[in-house]
């Protein structure tokens, strides 16, 4: 599933909307004069939220950190034909379009 | 005299349509900096204030604004640099911009230094010592009337302007050394190579004439002589230039203070752009009242030349919208431009001049934007009037005059506004009756100095939505002229702030009173420079396990919020290019590290924030909020978000949730808003915090709740699933390059308006929110989080704690199920957990 495919699905399945531009990358972090929090790792979050009380490894330690990406769908941004803000939507090969932002 | 480089241009070519950027010049009085873009042809006109290089507190610096406009890293190539005239608020920080390589001009057209400062040909400004009282006095006399400033601010202003002539000479030398082709303007047409370089902009140089420049120079020169004469007469006064200045230009002076006129009427005047999108930029030219001896006829010729180069679509008002800059007849002569822009700082009661504002307001069909209320303004005059202007904050068409910050600027009582009558009463006591003006006043009655200030509950003028509810009643705090009392215990709460910055934002007395009240109510207070507060908070939490919550006092410019990667490197890497489908690329503002009590970079302790929004009344109302009493509810959801109904069932009360598209902002009743819990599951936008929208199933977003509907009194809790609903600054975390983008005013934010009304908490997002149409709570990105919060609130948990626990539970569920979630689903949940924040006291 790519953006071209998504555009075709949107044209047929989401009347009144069209594909919008992706959000551009911001300035590089080295150009910022500010503190940045790069976020905790999944391991740190697991340690915090899933660790049993006895301090042993979490019971789900063998699980993968996330499932394989679904290649049959894609996240894009869509916007109303008549104007208005763009929103994140998931578009699937089976023709399903979900606006998930908001 | 007019030099036209191009009569008309093809409006279909994007490179020649023209974009005009009027930069935010912050709170300081006056100031102007304009960037004109015609494709790669760029003209930078004037340099705001000298302090705008580093940036005024809470405002973007000029370099930051240029970066936002032009993108990438400096140096920014500029075709033509212009200094319209030699006042300090126009020369501004151009020296630093050039010296530090922020801008790289090819040509410069500048006010001739000798004419501009009224100097003879043999004068060398590099020899001037800004500490020399004669230099300082001459410099302040050349400026606009500054007698409305208090002594401290006047002294600072004198320091700032004393060096302007020397700095200007430095600028010219640096430009020349850099190989820039510098043209000191003496009333002559543009050099041919310069005219050719700026031809794509349609620039027309309109004046002033050589004679007009000379008349002005003579007046400026007289001012220089006046400074010398004054100090010759009273050499001892050199130690107190402030008093000497007041003597020379104050109300008792024999000489009318028209000194600024000479420099203003030297303003280089241009028209730009193609027919149909013509623009007039004329610095501080006093078209309506020149006030320069002998210059009236020349100014009349200039007016005629200006009119002939029109009609205009856009007019930047001259002289900061002063009465002497323009009048109705002048605007008529311009062809009644429908787009009007004002440039100037916020703390200036006389600019825009009130009667000029009224004149503009009375002109039908105009769109008026102003940097003091709207921040950075971008105008594309070739577009339809309704869509030609974009502003970085506030609403356009705000015609309300500014008020001075009465803690900072003491205004002398205008004659005739104050009357005092002393009569003998019983026992010889005098009874004094005073009619007060609507302004701060210092006066002396019967030998007693009296300072009169506005109510401490109000500092920022209110307009539009988020209106001013006036003095508070109810709540847990009372405020008097001498202090503030919080009538509840704040024991167990850690308050963190930067006192100096908070004072700067809401006033010294108000800040000190609030902090004293916090301590009197048994709150633990730690103070320090903003950049140190997050670590100080974490350390305090680690050492004092009795603390149950952190309350940040002040906006991001007081205690920085942290630009946070909501998803971490592993998920970001797995997402790849799909991060660009998120409105924030998964960067959000977060205060969570203020609550990190064990150094693991995960917040454990609830954190809430009481933003100041530069408004002491809002700050006090939020700090004095009462504990929450669960009772009734009011909620509106987007028609495409049915999951909210299920979460709604967890909330106390029986009222059904309203659904938009059918339910619109106009359907909101005052009685609805009496309920103490409000829930909004609607759309929001990062650039406009005043509206939450529903959704038409056919496409489009009806207005479902607006700032005008926020109640003037509200003693409850709001939970918003709206995108960017809790964004309290004018900038997404994604784009921020400094800790503190400019704060939003309450008039620009539903969240801040609720706090102003006394809300205990406004729970919302600093970025775009994820939920979706699914009703299965495990498939919906938000359902479990919302429900977890509602359940805890219904169990009478404080909203700050309820949010923390709800987020923890939501994260734990997400992590336990992570192996079944592909990266995008994990990322959206992580983002929601990171970005939800508690504004207000929250306890």
- Which residue, among B787, B798, B813, has the nearest Cα to B681 in the 3D structure? B787
Question: Could you list the residue range(s) of the whole structural domain that residue A94 is in?
Answer: 1-21+70-102
Count of the separate structural domains present in chain B: 3
Structural domain includes residue B180: yes
Same-domain pairing of B669 and B789: yes
Average predicted confidence (pLDDT) for chain B: 87
Phi, psi of B593 (to 5 degrees): -70, -15
* Residue B757 CA to its chain's centroid (Å): 22
Instruction: State the average pLDDT over residues B165-186.
Output: 94
Same-domain pairing of B435 and B296: no
Structural domain includes residue B72: yes
Structural domain includes residue B412: no
More confident residue, B291 or A91: A91
The answer, for A40 touching chain B at a CB cutoff of 8 Å, is yes
Whole-prediction pTM value? 0.57
B699/A82 Cβ within 8 A:
yes
The number of C-alpha atoms within 13 Å of B130 and in the hemisphere containing its C-beta is 15
pLDDT of residue B223: 83
Count of the separate structural domains present in chain A: 1
Chain B's closest residue to A77, CA to CA, is B581
The top-scoring range by mean pLDDT among B398-412, B482-496, B533-547, B691-705 is B533-547
Chain A's closest residue to B735, CA to CA, is A26
Structural domain includes residue A88: yes
Look at residue B720 and tell me whether its pLDDT is greater than 50. yes
Q: Give the CATH number of the domain where residue B718 resides.
A: 3.40.50.1460
pLDDT of residue B404: 59
How many residues in total does chain B contain?
843
How many residues in total does chain A contain?
102
DSSP letter at B414? Answer: P
CA distance A12 to chain B (A): 13
Residue B730, token pair as written in the block: 């004018």
Question: Could you list the residue range(s) of the whole structural domain that residue B801 is in?
Answer: 628-839
Same-domain pairing of B185 and B320: yes
Look at residue B418 and tell me whether its pLDDT is greater than 70. no
Look at residue A78 and tell me whether its pLDDT is greater than 50. yes
b/e string for A35-45 if b means 16 or more Cβ within 10 A?
eebebbebeeb
End-of-domain residue from the set B427, B452, B477? B452
The number of C-alpha atoms within 13 Å of B586 and in the hemisphere containing its C-beta is 29
pLDDT digits (tens, 9 = 90+) for A13-53: 998 899 999 998 887 766 777 888 998 888 889 888 886 55
A67/B821 Cβ within 8 A:
yes
Instruction: Report strand pairing: B549-553 vs A17-19.
Output: unpaired
Partner residue opposite A67 with nearest CB, options B700, B736, B820:
B820
Same-domain pairing of B425 and B382: no
Look at residue B569 and tell me whether its pLDDT is greater than 60. yes
Residue B829, token pair as written in the block: 């949940």
Same-domain pairing of B761 and B654: yes
CA distance B574 to chain A (A): 8
Structural domain includes residue B657: yes
DSSP letter at B743? Answer: B
pLDDT of residue A35: 86
Same-domain pairing of B385 and B427: no
Instruction: State the average pLDDT over residues B23-48.
Output: 95
Element (H, E) at B587: strand B587-590
Look at residue B593 and tell me whether its pLDDT is greater than 60. yes
**Where do we find the tokens 């192996």?**
B819
End-of-domain residue from the set B452, B470, B495? B452
**3-state secondary structure string, B359-413?**
HHHCCCCCEEEEHHHHCCEEECCCCCHHHCEEECCCCCCCCCCCCCCCCCCCCEC
pLDDT of residue B73: 86
Element (H, E) at B620: helix B616-623
pLDDT of residue B56: 83
DSSP letter at B177? Answer: H
Look at residue B476 and tell me whether its pLDDT is greater than 90. no
CA distance B315 to chain A (A): 28
Cα–Cα distance for residue pair B344/B371, rounded to 1 Å: 6
Interface probe, candidates B529, B699, B702, chain A, greatest A C-beta count within 10 A: B699
**Where do we find the tokens 């043209």?**
B183
Cα–Cα distance for residue pair B841/B608, rounded to 1 Å: 6
Structural domain includes residue B243: no
**Percent of all residues in chain B with a pLDDT value above 70, rounded to a whole number:** 88
User: A-B interface: how many C-beta pairs under 8 angstroms?
Assistant: 185
A84/B700 Cβ within 8 A:
yes
**Where do we find the tokens 């995008």?**
B824
Q: Would you call B40 exposed, middle or buried from its count of C-beta atoms within 10 A (0-12, 13-18, 19+)?
A: exposed
Cα–Cα distance for residue pair B228/B134, rounded to 1 Å: 6
pLDDT digits (tens, 9 = 90+) for B300-350: 999 999 999 999 999 999 999 999 999 999 999 999 999 999 999 998 888
Beta bridge partners of A90: A75, A98
Look at residue B431 and tell me whether its pLDDT is greater than 60. no
Structural domain includes residue B567: no
């Amino acid at each position: 599933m790519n953006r071209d495919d998504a555009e075709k699905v949107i044209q047929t399945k989401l009347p009144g909307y069209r594909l919008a531009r992706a959000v551009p990358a911001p300035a590089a972090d080295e150009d910022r004069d500010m503190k940045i929090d790069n976020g905790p790792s999944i391991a740190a979050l697991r340690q915090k939220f899933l660790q049993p009380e006895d301090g042993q490894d979490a019971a789900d330690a063998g699980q993968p950190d996330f499932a394989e990406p679904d290649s049959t769908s894609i996240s894009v941004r869509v916007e109303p034909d008549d104007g208005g803000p763009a929103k994140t939507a998931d578009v699937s090969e089976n023709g399903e379009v979900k606006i998930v932002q908001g | 005299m007019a030099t036209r480089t191009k009569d008309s241009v093809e409006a279909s070519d994007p490179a020649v349509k023209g974009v005009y950027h009027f930069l935010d010049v912050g709170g300081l009085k006056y100031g102007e900096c304009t960037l004109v873009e015609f494709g790669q042809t760029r003209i930078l006109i004037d340099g705001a204030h000298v302090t705008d290089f580093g940036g005024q507190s809470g405002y973007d610096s000029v370099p930051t604004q240029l970066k936002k406009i032009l993108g990438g890293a400096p140096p920014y190539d500029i075709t033509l640099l212009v200094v319209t005239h030699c006042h300090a608020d126009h020369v501004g920080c151009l020296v630093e911009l050039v010296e530090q390589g922020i801008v790289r001009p090819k040509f410069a057209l500048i006010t001739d230094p000798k004419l501009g400062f009224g100097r003879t040909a043999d004068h060398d400004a590099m020899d001037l010592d800004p500490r020399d009282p004669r230099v300082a006095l001459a410099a302040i006399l050349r400026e606009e009337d500054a007698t409305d400033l208090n002594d401290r601010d006047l002294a600072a202003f004198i320091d700032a302007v004393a060096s302007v002539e020397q700095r200007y000479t430095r600028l010219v030398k640096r430009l020349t050394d850099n190989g820039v082709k510098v043209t000191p303007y003496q009333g002559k047409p543009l050099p041919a190579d310069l005219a050719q370089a700026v031809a794509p902009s349609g620039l027309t140089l309109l004046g002033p004439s050589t004679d007009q420049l000379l008349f002005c120079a003579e007046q400026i020169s007289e001012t220089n002589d006046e400074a010398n004469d004054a100090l010759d007469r009273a050499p001892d006064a050199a130690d107190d230039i402030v008093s000497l200045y007041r003597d020379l230009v104050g109300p008792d002076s024999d000489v009318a203070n028209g000194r600024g006129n000479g420099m203003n009427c030297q303003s280089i005047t241009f028209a730009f752009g193609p027919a149909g999108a013509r623009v007039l930029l004329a610095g501080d030219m006093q078209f309506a009242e020149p006030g320069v001896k002998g210059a009236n006829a020349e100014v009349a010729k200039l007016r005629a030349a200006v009119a002939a180069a029109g009609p205009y679509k856009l007019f930047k008002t001259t002289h900061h919208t002063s009465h002497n800059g323009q009048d109705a007849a002048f605007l008529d002569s311009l062809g009644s431009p429908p787009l009007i822009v004002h440039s100037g700082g916020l703390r200036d009661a006389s600019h825009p001049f009130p009667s000029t504002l009224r004149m503009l307001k009375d002109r039908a069909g105009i769109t008026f934007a102003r940097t003091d209320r709207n921040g950075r303004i971008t105008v594309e005059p070739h577009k339809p009037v309704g869509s030609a202007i974009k502003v970085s904050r506030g609403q356009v068409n705000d015609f309300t005059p500014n008020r001075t910050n009465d803690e900072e600027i003491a205004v002398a009582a205008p004659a005739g506004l104050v009357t005092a009558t002393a009569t003998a009463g019983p026992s010889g006591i005098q009874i004094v009756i005073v009619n007060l003006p609507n302004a701060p006043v210092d006066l002396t009655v019967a030998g007693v100095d009296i300072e009169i200030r506005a109510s401490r509950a109000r500092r920022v003028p209110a307009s539009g939505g988020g209106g001013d509810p006036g003095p508070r009643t109810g709540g847990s705090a009372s405020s008097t002229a001498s202090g503030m009392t919080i009538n509840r215990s704040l024991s167990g709460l850690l308050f963190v702030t930067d006192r100096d910055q908070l004072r700067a934002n809401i006033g010294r007395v108000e800040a000190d009173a609030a902090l004293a009240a916090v301590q009197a109510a048994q709150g633990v207070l730690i103070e320090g420079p903003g950049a140190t507060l997050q670590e100080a908070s974490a350390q305090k939490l680690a050492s004092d396990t009795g603390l149950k919550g952190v309350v940040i006092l002040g906006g991001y410019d007081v205690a920085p919020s942290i630009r946070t990667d909501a998803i971490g490197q592993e998920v970001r890497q797995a997402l790849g290019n799909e991060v660009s489908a998120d409105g924030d690329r998964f960067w959000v503002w977060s205060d969570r590290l203020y609550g990190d009590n064990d150094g693991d970079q995960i917040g454990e302790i609830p954190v809430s924030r009481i933003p100041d929004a530069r408004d002491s009344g809002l700050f006090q109302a939020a700090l004095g909020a009462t504990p929450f009493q669960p009772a009734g509810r009011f909620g509106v959801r987007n028609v495409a978000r049915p999951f909210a109904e299920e979460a709604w069932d967890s909330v106390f009360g029986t009222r059904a949730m309203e659904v938009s598209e059918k339910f619109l902002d106009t359907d909101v009743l005052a009685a609805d808003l009496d309920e103490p819990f409000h829930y909004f599951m609607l759309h929001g936008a990062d650039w406009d915090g005043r509206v939450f929208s529903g959704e038409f199933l056919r496409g489009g977003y009806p207005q479902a709740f607006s700032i005008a509907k926020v109640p003037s009194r509200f003693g409850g809790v709001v939970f918003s699933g709206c995108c960017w609903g809790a964004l309290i600054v004018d900038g997404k975390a994604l784009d921020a390059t400094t800790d503190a983008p400019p704060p939003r005013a309450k008039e620009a934010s539903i969240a801040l308006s609720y706090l102003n009304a006394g809300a205990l908490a406004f729970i919302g997002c600093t970025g775009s929110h994820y939920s979706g149409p699914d009703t299965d709570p495990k498939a919906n990105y938000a359902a479990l989080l919302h429900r977890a919060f509602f359940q805890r609130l219904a169990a009478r948990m404080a909203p700050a704690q309820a949010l923390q626990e709800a987020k923890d539970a939501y994260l734990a569920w997400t992590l336990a199920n992570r192996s079944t979630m592909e990266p995008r689903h994990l990322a959206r949940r992580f983002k929601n957990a990171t970005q939800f924040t508690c504004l207000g006291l929250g306890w």
